[in-house]
Structure 1
């Protein structure tokens, strides 16, 4: 159950992130959907642990950095989710605004995607295959 939930939330959060950036971070329905999906993904990871690993081929500094980079992505997702939800509840978090955080999440997500494409093509470790819904590759 964890794998399909994580995969579904992963791609849902990505689509909602793109829609929210296009529509504006104050769009109420998209803010609620993104915020709740992002928090659900974070809660699933906290409750069940991270579903990913560096794979057997990744080595050196990238292997050591991999779990920390994933924790950082989840932390950024959680902060973005909260920053988008809090205005809907009538207050805001200190620090950067929701749009700035969402743009940062998009940039981090693009690096995350490029890294996984590199792992899939250069290392052949199946990183992309593990995160795509069954039948997509």
Structure 2
């Protein structure tokens, strides 16, 4: 499987699981473990195969320089949330916020991440959403 396919699959799987967990899914251990596995697998893919993101030619200035660091930050938050979720399932406590607050922080950061890429795709017209959406949806974009 290609890096793109793996990343797209894990990206959307992690997002759907995050939404389910925030909406009360932490009561279901299978959902929590699925989130842990998808989050850690996405991070491992990025570490082993590199980030799939790039700023694109139309992104300029501070946004261009910040772009890779924003994505690294998202991966760090995803990894932290997955570790907090795993610790929660194992009855352990990690320093910092509890599982529900950690998931809300990740969801909030994910919303800002999505807004940024929607802005890139629409205002800059650089096709940013084509990178992470399945190819079957490209005609809709």
TM-score normalized by the length of structure 1 = 0.97
Runs of 4+ residues deviating >3 angstroms: none
Partners of 2:32 and 2:25 lie apart in 1 by: 9
Alignment of 1:63-74 (within 5 A): 63-74=64-75
Alignment match, 2:77? 76
TM-score normalized by the length of structure 2 = 0.94
Q: Deviations over 1:82-101 (max 9, x none)?
A: 00011212312111111111
5+ unaligned residues in a row in structure 2: which ranges? Answer: none
Give yes or no for the alignment of 1:28 onto 2:37.
no
Give yes or no for the alignment of 1:107 onto 2:104.
no
Instruction: Report the CA distance between 1:136 and its aligned residue.
Output: 0.4
5+ unaligned residues in a row in structure 1: which ranges? Answer: none
Partners of 1:66 and 1:106 lie apart in 2 by: 19
Number of residues paired by the alignment?
A: 137
Partners of 2:89 and 2:105 lie apart in 1 by: 21
